[in-house]
A and B are shown apart, each in its own frame.
Chain A
């Protein structure tokens, strides 16, 4: 209860720039969203090209398509809101993590690639979902940006469940 009061007090003290009690403003959230999608697009394209299992290739292609769609919608909204995505520790960390993952995957082939890709997809979607729930949605100050995050959240849940299904099929 004390935390809630502190959070509300923090939100009431939000400066004009829109920074929240949790330290990310809308410009930083925009950068995190665009980066999180781009990281999964890059990995998905690699999996659709290098995957050996048909389900892994299909999943990779779908990640590239779905996240490109979400990104197009996010970019359209932030352009309309005149919010310029701003780099921040979270978006930089996502970008670096994505580049490291792609570099590691490129060294693998066949079943080892499939397993490494899908294991990372499960962990990544869980990580992004946690960020959406714990940081992005609570911190978004613009109502339309918050609504977009709420609307795309189920896509991350669906991808996580789908990735787990593919992961499970690989171990059979």
Chain B
């Protein structure tokens, strides 16, 4: 039974890798990390697919935030050594800023 389960999981992957996948075969979402350190977002620009996740990890000793310039999302303050995750579901260009340090900016391009 376990073998059957593994096969069922493996097949879509094989189809996808061999280029014979169909639209019905879903892509495994990817999780990207944006590091917040030394008052900067690294990388400052990232391209992802809809359904992927982006995790912002604050490595500075004080809070930062991730706020969409168009008001679409707002992490509110992310404390030191904490993180915040966003999973965009639709394509678009998401420009964001740290509301606490207005010269910190970044962009997520969702395909």
Residues of A whose CB lies within 8 Å of any CB of B are 62, 65-66, 68-70, 72-73, 151-155, 157-158, 161-162, 165
A-B contact pairs, 20 of them (CB 8 A): A62-B100, A65-B62, A66-B62, A68-B62, A69-B60, A69-B62, A70-B61, A73-B61, A151-B37, A151-B38, A152-B38, A154-B38, A154-B39, A155-B38, A155-B39, A155-B60, A155-B62, A162-B102, A162-B103, A165-B102
Which residues of the partner chain A approach B102 to less than 8 Å between Cβ atoms? 162, 165
Which range holds the interface residue count of chain B?
Answer: 10 to 19
Tell me, in angstroms, the Cα distance from A72 to B80 when the chains sit together: 11
Residues of B whose CB lies within 8 Å of any CB of A are 37-40, 60-63, 80, 100-104
How many residue pairs link A and B with beta carbons under 8 A? The number is 35
Main secondary structure, interface of B, reads: loop
Which residues of the partner chain B approach A73 to less than 8 Å between Cβ atoms? 61
Which residues of the partner chain B approach A153 to less than 8 Å between Cβ atoms? 38
Q: Does B60 contact A157, Cβ atoms closer than 8 Å?
A: no
